[in-house]
């Protein structure tokens, strides 16, 4: 089914024509070619005054489908698996005071780079202060690899790690992080990485000056004071004065967001967790929702895939790719294929995909019983507790997405089981499509002509993390998800949007674009009215790319995928990243509340993001009416 | 935004911050000089084939030795007879050159490489360069087709769909920019705002 912007049915040919016409127009406008003289000069206007045929002007105008081309894979040296324990990132520790003390206006004399004065510092005075320095660290990622120089975070209390230490934050306890750039000179970057940073707290309901905007980067010797009020959305709008508890966030993460260099800097290690607790999600399994206690039984897991140079064994980053980067080594919390000793009881794991470009579908695998289904429970999507736990056989996430899961290890007492990624992905375009995805499409096959399915067989995928389930029955005060405890209700999406905006994600002459335009730090694409409701339509006109799309400031709910309610149960949730699949149109519901200022919308395949698939927008007391920003 | 943009541009164009500010923070650990030299060498081997190119004045250049080594460069692909967006990208780059002023040829070197080297003789390139008022420090290159193909693939101007990869128009929207010595490489769209492209290039001009 094809529709125009008014929701009327149109033929496929007409739909394609509309897309092409709109694209051509946007390209001409983007090129600043609005006068007939310009068009004539560039050979785009014929003598008869009509626009010349522009075949090939757009990458995907030929409607090509090829998801099977193998990416430029480099083989890393062999590494032993499951010989080192899973690192658990230490907890970020506060400092008693900051010197010089924080100022409402950016303290440029002391070297601060902040884009604006604090919006709500006096309303939410910080009770915890952190003094964090981004710096180079020597780490071992595997006994099969030499020591690596990566970039991480140092909390000034003896915790300097990559991934960085984990923040344990609490609603109602505002905090402030002084974030220093203490990275080495560029000439010592080991082959990639820009020592110029801006740290985004992903999914926080934060004022824009503390958001870590991609364009607010700073060099060595400078810092940004980032005020994290830890306040619920709606505190000054829909649900004053404390906000809506049904908007509570649990699993957030921080990462570098430096425009054009995010993929290199996050690959180099500038990522970490930020866990946000409240009176329900308490971190103590004897209180609140009775979720497994942090940190013993509530374990954050950072997943990253990397490539190592075959000769030197050093971490390698493909500087010259447009599509995306896939690694052939799978790391969890900074170690290649680690193991974790667990007790036969329930655990909460917070799974985060930091990319750069890979999607994961997690299964629980018993290598001695490959035909067994080993279900587990999803309790949160993008760090937001679901209304009720959902039992699954597997769960899929893209870059920047999170799922919180509960695994009950009682059935595996005395055994070894694995968290396995069984999703096949062979290049930066996204996962291999399921069979029959597009009628008539040639399916992906190997050199022998065997069709490659999107899901690899049990035990035949990427074994990520080994669980050694030891000991006998133990005390477990955590709630059994099978009893279907209620968490938060989903906020209503019935409100009428002030405006519905459309964003088309596309590849244009080898570059990544949103609505035919490119990232530009000096331009806002659109202006949202403070405390208003908007719908966004995300459109993927290409047949062969999946884009994990992230919008800052507020979460969204997915109203429809290709005009049908989402079929995936866990998508009945609050999201901050939505996977935009090939040929898809996704309708999102937003409520932009409380804060003013600038934020981005972007693809979170960080290679696409670095190649301009991003745009800035801002919240102001008055909104605009730009439909396709 | 404009003010902060200018401020950042200015910040990137001056020497990096040292002295008092640096000493006020915890000291950074440093990687060995050898491994950085090795990393630079790996990048050279993997991405910068030292093929011979000729410019619009029929002068011979080796791609690594004479074009990218020790320099801040922009690299894009084009061809003179391209009637789609090539002329738009080239005229946009001419604007970028204007914004950068006399830094082009001194701090920054712009390089446009023909995807149709059989057609684009040095003479054709000369005419194309003149038509776009390209100034000193901006060279247009041709070479052996196999060498240019190797260069295109090495620098990642490719499409994973083999059919789209055959279409030269798919490779003309990008402008790579980088600082070879500092191993800082990124890219921006050739059709992006000329001032923003100029600002982006300036990010990699650093003395650290």
Q: Which ipTM did the prediction report?
A: 0.85
A529 burial level (CB within 10 Å; 0-12, 13-18, 19+): middle
Is A528:A534 a contact under the CB 8 Å cutoff? yes
To the nearest whole angstrom, how far is the Cα of B190 from the nearest Cα of chain A? 9
- Say whether pLDDT at A373 is over 70: yes
A112-124 burial: b if 16+ Cβ within 10 Å, else e: bbbbbebbbbeeb
**Residue that has been written with the tokens 């409240």 in this structure:** A278
pLDDT at A11: 58
pLDDT band at A443 (very low <50, low <70, confident <90, very high): low
Q: What is the pLDDT of residue A438?
A: 57
**Percent of chain A topping pLDDT 90:** 79
Q: Which of A532, A505, A484 is nearest to A628 (CA)?
A: A505
Q: How confident is the model at residue A452 (pLDDT cuts 50, 70, 90)?
A: confident
Boundaries of every domain in chain B? 33-203
Q: Which of A319, A356, A425, A523 to mutate to test the interface with B (most CBs of B within 10 A)?
A: A319
**Number of residues written out for chain B:** 208
User: At residue A285, does pLDDT exceed 60?
Assistant: yes
Residue among B73, B70, B184 at smallest CA distance from A219: B184
Share of chain B above pLDDT 70, in %: 84
Q: Does A621 touch chain B if contact means CB atoms closer than 8 Å?
A: no
pLDDT band for position A436 (50/70/90)?
A: low
Of A543, A517, A581, A609, the residue nearest A60 (C-alpha)? A543
pLDDT tens, position by position, A218-237? 999 999 999 999 999 999 99
When CB atoms are compared, the residue of B26, B40, B174 closest to A510 is B174
Lowest mean pLDDT among A19-23, A404-408, B169-173: A19-23
A299-483 and A499-620: same fold?
Answer: yes
Domain ranges in chain A are: 2-41, 108-277, 299-483, 499-620
What is the percent of chain A with per-residue pLDDT over 70, rounded to a whole number? 86
Greater model confidence, A87 or A63: A87
* A433 or B28, greater pLDDT: A433
Handedness of CA A99, A102, A103, A108 (dihedral sign): positive
For residue A14, pLDDT beyond 60: no
For A589, other C-beta atoms within 10 Å of its C-beta total 22
Name the band, by pLDDT with cuts 50, 70 and 90, for residue B160: confident
Average pLDDT over residues A609-629: 97
3-state secondary structure of B181: coil
Pairing of strands A394-397, A339-342: unpaired
pLDDT at A1: 54
Q: Are A407 and A347 in contact (CB under 8 A)?
A: yes
Q: CB count, 10 Å around CB of A167?
A: 26
Does the distance separating the beta carbons of B43 and A182 come in below 8 Å?
Answer: no
Please report the pLDDT score of residue A59 as a whole number: 25
Residue B120 CB-density burial (10 A; 0-12 exposed, 13-18 middle, 19+ buried): buried
Mean pLDDT of B129-152: 96
Per-residue model confidence (pLDDT) at position A311: 85
| pLDDT band, very low/low/confident/very high, at A74 (cuts 50, 70, 90) | low
Least confident of A62-71, A127-136, B148-157, B195-204: A62-71
pLDDT band at A544 (very low <50, low <70, confident <90, very high): confident
A 367-406 near B (Cβ less than 8 A): none
pLDDT of residue A53: 35
Instruction: Give Dmax (Cα) for chain B.
Output: 59
Residue-wise pLDDT for A375-384, tens only, equals 999 999 999 9
Of the candidates A588, A592, A587, which has an alpha carbon nearest to the alpha carbon of residue A528? Answer: A592
Q: How many beta-carbon pairs below 8 A join chains A and B?
A: 228
Q: Which CATH superfamily is domain A499-620 in?
A: Cupredoxins -  blue copper proteins (2.60.40.420)
- CA angle, corner A158, sides to A156 and A162, nearest 5? 90
Cβ–Cβ below 8 Å for A136 and B36: no
Q: Once rounded to an integer, what is the mean pLDDT over residues A600-626?
A: 97
Q: Which two tokens stand for residue A413?
A: 């007492």
Mean pLDDT of A326-345: 96
CATH number belonging to domain B33-203 = 3.40.30.10
Mean pLDDT of A423-450: 72
Write the residue in B158, B162, B192 that is nearest to A518 by C-beta. Answer: B192
Contact B187 A544 (CB under 8 A): no
A528 has pLDDT over 80: yes
pLDDT at A57: 26
Confidence class for position B4, pLDDT limits 50, 70, 90: very low
With bands split at pLDDT 50, 70 and 90, how would you rate the model's confidence at A447?
A: low
**pLDDT at residue A158 tops 80:** yes
Task: Give the per-residue pLDDT at A45.
Answer: 38
CA neighbor of A466 nearest in space, from A257, A270, A301, A259: A301
pLDDT band at A26 (very low <50, low <70, confident <90, very high): very low
Q: What pLDDT does residue B163 have?
A: 78
Pair B125, B58: CB distance under 8 Å: no
Distance from CA of B2 to the nearest CA of A (A): 6
Which residues of chain B neighbour A184 with C-beta distances below 8 Å?
28-31
The CATH classification number of A299-483 equals 2.60.40.420
Specify the pLDDT at position B23: 33
DSSP state of A210: G
Say which CATH architecture domain A108-277 belongs to. Sandwich (2.60)
Residues in chain A: 629
Whether A612 and B28 lie within 8 Å, measured CB to CB: no
pLDDT in tens, A558-610: 999 999 999 999 999 999 999 999 889 999 999 999 999 999 999 999 999 99
Non-local CB neighbours of A343 within 8 Å, separated by 6+ positions:
A409, A469, A470, A471, A474
Look at strands A402-408 and A346-353 and give their pairing. antiparallel
Pairing of strands A175-181, A164-170: unpaired
Asked whether the beta carbons of A51 and A44 are under 8 A apart, the reply is yes
CA distance B172 to chain A (A): 6
Residues of chain B contacting residue A135, judged by C-beta atoms under 8 Å apart: 26, 28-29
Check CB contact under 8 Å for A523 and B174: no
pLDDT at B53 over 60: yes
Q: Is A59 on the interface with B (CB under 8 A)?
A: yes
Contact status, residue A191 vs residue A316, Cβ threshold 8 Å: yes
Contacts of A312 in chain B (CB under 8 A): 35, 38, 42
pLDDT tens across B163-178, in order?
Answer: 788 888 888 889 999 9
A1/A20 Cα distance (integer angstroms): 18
Least confident of A68-82, A365-379, A382-396: A68-82
Write out the DSSP string of A91-136: BP--BS--SSPP-SS--GGGTB--SS--SSTTTS--SEEEEEEEEE
Average pLDDT score, chain B: 85
Which pLDDT value is given to residue A218? 98
User: Per the CB < 8 Å rule, is B25 touching A221?
Assistant: yes
- Classify residue A488 by burial, with Cβ atoms within 10 Å: 0-12, 13-18, 19+: buried
What local confidence, expressed as pLDDT, does residue A450 receive?
A: 72
Neighbours of B191 (CB within 10 A): 27
Q: Out of B43, B164, B176, name the one closest to residue A191 (CB).
A: B43
Whether A482 shows a pLDDT value over 50: the answer reads: yes
Assess A192–B contact: CB distance below 8 Å, yes or no: yes
Mean pLDDT throughout A229-251? 97
Chain A residues touching residue B93 (CB < 8 angstroms): none
CA A124 to chain centre: 27
A122-143 average pLDDT score? 98
Whether A556 contacts chain B with CB within 8 A: no
Cα–Cα distance list, A356 to A28, A263, A551 (Å)? 32, 6, 18
Mean pLDDT across A40-45: 40
CA distance A425 to B29: 36
Residues of B with Cβ-Cβ distance to A429 under 8 angstroms: 160
């Amino acid at each position: 089914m094809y529709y125009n912007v008014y929701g009327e049915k149109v033929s496929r040919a007409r739909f394609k024509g509309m897309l092409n016409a709109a694209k051509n127009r946007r390209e001409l406008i983007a090129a600043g070619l609005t006068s007939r003289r310009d068009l004539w000069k560039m050979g785009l206007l014929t003598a008869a005054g009509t626009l010349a045929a522009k075949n090939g002007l757009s990458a995907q105008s030929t409607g090509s489908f090829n998801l099977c081309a193998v990416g430029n894979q480099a083989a890393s040296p062999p590494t032993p698996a499951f010989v080192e324990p899973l690192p658990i990132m230490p907890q970020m520790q506060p400092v008693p005071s900051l010197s010089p003390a924080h100022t409402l206006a950016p303290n440029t004399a002391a070297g601060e780079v902040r884009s604006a004065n604090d919006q709500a510092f006096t309303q939410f005075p910080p009770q915890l202060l952190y003094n964090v320095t981004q710096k180079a660290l020597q780490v071992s990622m595997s006994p099969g690899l030499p020591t690596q120089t990566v970039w991480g975070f140092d909390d000034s209390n003896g915790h300097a790690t990559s991934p960085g230490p984990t923040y344990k934050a609490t609603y109602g306890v505002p905090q402030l992080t002084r974030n220093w750039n203490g990275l080495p000179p560029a000439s010592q970057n080991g082959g990639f990485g820009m020592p110029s940073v801006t740290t985004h707290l992903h999914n926080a309901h934060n004022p824009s000056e503390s958001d870590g905007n991609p364009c607010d980067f700073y060099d060595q010797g400078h810092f940004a004071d980032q005020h994290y009020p830890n306040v619920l959305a709606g505190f000054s709008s829909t649900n004053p004065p404390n906000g809506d508890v049904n908007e509570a966030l649990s699993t957030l993460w921080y990462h570098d967001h430096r425009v054009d260099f995010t993929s290199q800097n996050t690959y180099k290690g500038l990522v970490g967790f930020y866990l946000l607790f409240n009176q329900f999600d308490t971190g103590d399994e004897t209180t609140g929702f009775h979720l497994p206690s942090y940190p013993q039984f509530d374990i954050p897991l950072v997943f990253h895939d990397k490539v190592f140079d075959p000769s030197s064994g050093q971490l390698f980053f493909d500087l010259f790719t447009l599509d995306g980067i896939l690694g052939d080594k799978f790391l969890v919390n900074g170690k290649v294929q680690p193991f974790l000793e667990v007790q036969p009881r329930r655990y909460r794991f917070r799974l985060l995909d930091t990319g750069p470009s890979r999607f994961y579908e997690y299964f629980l695998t018993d290598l001695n019983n490959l035909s067994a289904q080993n279900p587990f429970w999803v309790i949160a999507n993008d760090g937001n507790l679901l209304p009720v736990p959902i039992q699954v056989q597997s769960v899929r996430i893209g870059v920047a997405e999170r799922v919180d899961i509960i695994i009950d290890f009682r059935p595996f007492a005395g055994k070894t089981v694995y968290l396995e990624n069984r999703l096949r992905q062979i290049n930066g375009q996204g996962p291999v499509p399921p069979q029959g995805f597009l009628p008539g499409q040639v399916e992906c096959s190997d050199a022998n002509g065997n069709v490659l399915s999107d899901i690899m067989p049990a035990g035949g995928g990427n074994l990520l993390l080994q669980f050694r389930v030891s000991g006998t029955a133990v005390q477990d005060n955590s709630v059994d998800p099978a009893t279907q405890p209620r968490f938060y209700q989903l906020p209503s999406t019935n409100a009428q949007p002030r405006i519905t905006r459309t964003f088309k994600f596309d590849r244009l002459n080898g570059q990544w674009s949103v609505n035919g335009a490119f990232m530009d730090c000096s331009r806002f694409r659109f202006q949202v009215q403070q405390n208003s409701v908007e719908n966004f339509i995300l459109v993927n006109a290409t047949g062969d790319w999946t884009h994990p799309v992230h919008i800052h400031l507020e979460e969204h709910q997915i109203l429809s995928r290709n005009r049908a309610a989402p079929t995936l149960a866990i998508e009945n949730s609050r999201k901050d990243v939505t996977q935009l699949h090939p040929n898809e149109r996704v309708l999102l519901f937003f409520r932009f509340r409380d804060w003013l200022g600038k934020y981005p919308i972007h693809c979170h395949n960080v290679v696409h993001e670095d190649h301009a698939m991003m745009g800035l927008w801002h919240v102001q007391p008055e909104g605009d009416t730009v439909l396709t920003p | 935004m404009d003010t902060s943009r200018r401020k950042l541009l200015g910040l990137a164009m001056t020497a990096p911050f040292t002295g008092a500010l640096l000493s006020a923070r915890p000291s950074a650990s440093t990687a060995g000089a050898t491994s950085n030299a090795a990393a630079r060498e790996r990048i050279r081997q993997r991405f910068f084939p030292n093929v011979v190119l000729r410019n619009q004045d029929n002068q011979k250049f080796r791609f690594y030795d004479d074009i990218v080594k020790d320099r801040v460069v922009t690299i894009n692909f084009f061809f003179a007879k391209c009637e789609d967006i090539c002329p738009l990208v080239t005229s946009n780059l001419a604007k970028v050159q204007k914004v950068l002023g006399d830094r082009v040829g001194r701090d920054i070197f712009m390089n446009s490489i023909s995807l149709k080297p059989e057609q684009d003789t040095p003479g054709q390139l000369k005419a194309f360069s003149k038509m776009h008022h390209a100034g000193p420090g901006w060279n247009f290159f041709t070479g052996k087709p196999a060498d240019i193909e190797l260069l295109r693939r090495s620098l990642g101007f490719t499409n994973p769909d083999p059919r789209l990869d055959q279409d030269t128009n798919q490779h003309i929207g990008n402008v790579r920019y980088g600082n070879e010595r500092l191993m800082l490489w990124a890219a921006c769209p050739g059709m992006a705002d000329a001032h923003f492209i100029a600002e982006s290039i300036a990010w990699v001009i650093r003395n650290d």
